[in-house]
Amino acid sequence: MLNKENSTVSRAWEATLRKTHAAKKRANSIFGTIALANATATNTTTTTTTNAVEDNDKNCTISEAAYFTEKILPNGEYYKGQWCDNFPEGQGKYYWIDGCMYVGEWHKGKTMGRGRFRWPSGATYEGEFKSGYMDGTGTYVGSNGDTYKGQWVMNLKHGNGIEYYANGDWYEGEWRRGLRYGIGKYQWHNKNHYDGEWKNGVIHGNGCFVWINGDQYDGCWEDGMPKGNGTYQLSDGSFYVGYWSKEENEQNGTYHPSESSSNDVEWDPKIVYNQLADCKISPGEKVPILPSQKRLAISYSSNNAEKSRRPSIDGRGSLVLERPFDKMNLWDENDNDFNSFEMSRQLDCEFYGVNPAESNYKFNPVLPLKVPKPGNRQGETISVGHKNYELMLNLQLGIRHSVGRPAPPTSLDLKASAFDPKKKIWTRFPPEGSKYTPPHQSCEFKWKDYTPVVFRSLRKLFKVDPADYMLSICGNDALRELSSPGKSGSFFYLTDDDIYMIKTMKKAEVKVFLKMLAAYYNHVRSFENSLVIKYYGLHCVKVTGAIQKKVRFVIMGNLLRSEYTIHTRFDLKGSSLGRVTNKPGSEINSTTILKDLDLNFIFKLQKAWFHKFCWQINRDCEFLEQVRTMDYSLLVGLHFREISSNGELIPCEKRDPRNESSSLHSRSTSDQLLLDLERQANMVLGANMPARVERTIRKPECELQLVGEQTGEYYKVILSFGIIDILQDYDITKKLEHAYKSIQYDPTSISAVDPKLYSKRFRDFIFKAFTEDT
């Protein structure tokens, strides 16, 4: 007769057996009968001696230590397959109590290799897994019939793939972070199709839309609608060409009817927008729960205890009663490589084909951006003993004389005679002084004022106080000479307060300036927000005596003078030849002028300011084209508003196109800041403007691309910018330079081109580098 203790054990065993049979029956009805690889090998493992088992390394392999088992877990979940070191290892199948199922390869408790995951809804994924993620090549079939076949990275469609939708639509092309991004073709069930560029899941860039009736639009797109230059071709041969926009005041084009066309009246582009409104892009079915979010119900046990559990001779696993425990993730929860920020950057590496070990931040999105190290104060103070000390004294004496000289009230309405290049005043400055000049310690010199009435009017137009002007340039503080001359051979000097910059000029540049002075005056008077650099005076110092030396110079505003520290500077032209800074990263500091191929941002302006910016750039370029100048550039200074203690830039909220709530919050905050600052009297275009910049990455094989690929990583900044170096005309020297370099290089990549072409190329580039912050 069994005693009480044996009776209790017997009842427990019988209950366990009943539970096991019920679970096995349920699991087999779901999984069916599958053949697990290496089953024979694992059965053979049972004959391994105890000593051999004890000698196995902790990092066991399938061939040496994995064995076949069946486990009924306390919460009713079920595993059948190969097992090692308390984890699924090799081939196996796992059934969760919510109805999810995985059949395939495992490594240390993670889905790794090829496998098949099925959701309770009937959706399935079959393909490659990595560390619990759908990663590699695989096929997802949704419960509604949507089917995607292609590349995956960390549970997201990423790379090339094709998706068929339940409604009959299909898309084939590039994906990024789960969204259509890059080049791709989308065909609707009614046979209309679009072939071209995509961004964040919508049509964006250049592409062609073809209707089933034969009509087609080929041109620029923005947010799913035509925006920019494009041509609409009707099936009867008629066409409409011009600039497209949903805003009627921006729409500008011409309709050309064909000979066979019955429509002789003006054609309305609104027809296209109405047609496109009915062409909805299928959103596709979202994955209900990601495989990497599933957890395994595995009990803790020591390695020795686990190794002692061996399958029986017939290959059936031993049946054990497990105790409750903490669940384990399919991936290591402490693995920081899979936090959301790092995951996004790893996706970027996959997308751009970049080696994560790449050390250049322009090509590697994984590398965090750092603020350049602070540079020393620009320039060398011109003190006694400096080679240009006397020149500085002469300049200060001359400006004090020119600005302080009595003159009639200044009028902004100038006669044409005021711009005559012959309108100049010579003044002699002897050391002992004269009736009009004070005594001084410098050598004798002559001072020339070019068109003084015009520049007096310009200073008034730019709201420059004469006393403050003289104090900045002629005060007790000395000027500072920049360490090296510019590419043109000119020398630059800065005032101590950084408000004004003085540049030496060649005689040819003075002639160009005087020739365009009337047009310049009328332009800056007509457009108070002009981004063209401000000029305040044009003068000449002629040293008399044995050395007859003339030094001509212009006084202009310092565009990057700001109450904020300028961390990074860019000089942007829109050309690529030679447009890179030849300095190692360790030598770049806050005063280094970076160029087009160094640019790693897109500048995001709030809507109202972006429209003002575009409008003003167009007006300024039209003026520069009119006066036949080229080789000018946009100088941009950035102050980063959020920097960590170790010098890394802190991104603002990263926009997720699938969830706009965070970006709406960030945008509303930015808009409020802009609204507050607009109330300030000194808030003008190009000066201390709050904005955001988006980081860009250049693909290694596209090193010469002017604007890199967007990453969705944003930073809050204060921007200052303006157009500089506007005094280079397209003379015979530049024409010869263009002819010579065109033989060696791509003509579109060089700076020396015709002013009309230069203006177009400059604008095209600037309107890619600056965009609306949406």
What is the per-residue pLDDT across 295-322, written as a single tens digit (0 to 9) for each?
Answer: 777 644 434 334 334 333 333 333 333 3
Give me the pLDDT at residue 667, please. 47
Give me the pLDDT at residue 659, please. 41
Phi and psi torsions of 711, nearest 5°: -110, -15
Burial 287-317 (b: 16+ CB within 10 A, else e): beeebbebebbbbebeeeebbeeebeeeeeb
Give me the pLDDT at residue 702, please. 55
**Least confident piece of the model among 15-24, 412-421, 687-696:** 15-24
Give me the pLDDT at residue 307, please. 39
**Least confident piece of the model among 37-51, 233-247, 419-433, 473-487:** 37-51
Query: How confident is residue 453, by pLDDT bands cut at 50, 70 and 90?
Result: very high
Give me the pLDDT at residue 263, please. 59
Give me the pLDDT at residue 487, please. 59
Which span out of 410-419, 541-550, 733-742 was modeled with the highest average pLDDT?
410-419
Output the pTM of the full model.
0.56
pLDDT at 681 over 60: no
What is the per-residue pLDDT across 386-436, written as a single tens digit (0 to 9) for each?
Answer: 888 888 888 988 998 888 887 777 788 899 999 998 888 888 888 888 888
Phi and psi torsions of 702, nearest 5°: -120, 50
Q: How far apart are CA 200 and CA 656, in angstroms?
A: 9
The overall average pLDDT reported for the chain is 77
- Structure-token pair, residue 224: 């799913």
Which span out of 8-12, 575-579, 614-618 was modeled with the highest average pLDDT?
614-618
Query: How confident is residue 40, by pLDDT bands cut at 50, 70 and 90?
Result: very low
Q: How far apart are CA 236 and CA 191, in angstroms?
A: 19
pLDDT at 670 over 80: no
Query: Of 46, 473, 229, which Cα lies nearest the Cα of 465?
Result: 473
Phi and psi torsions of 141, nearest 5°: -115, 115
Query: How confident is residue 662, by pLDDT bands cut at 50, 70 and 90?
Result: very low
- Say if CB 634 and CB 572 are below 8 A apart: yes
Give me the pLDDT at residue 457, please. 93
**How confident is the model over 655-661, as a mean pLDDT?**
40
Give me the pLDDT at residue 751, please. 65
Q: How far apart are CA 739 and CA 721, in angstroms?
A: 32
What is the per-residue pLDDT across 613-638, written as a single tens digit (0 to 9) for each?
Answer: 999 999 999 999 999 998 899 999 99
Phi and psi torsions of 5, nearest 5°: -65, -45
**How confident is the model over 275-299, as a mean pLDDT?**
79
pLDDT at 654 over 50: no
Give me the pLDDT at residue 503, please. 92
Radius of gyration (C-alpha) of the chain in whole angstroms: 37
- Which has more pLDDT, 536 or 704? 536
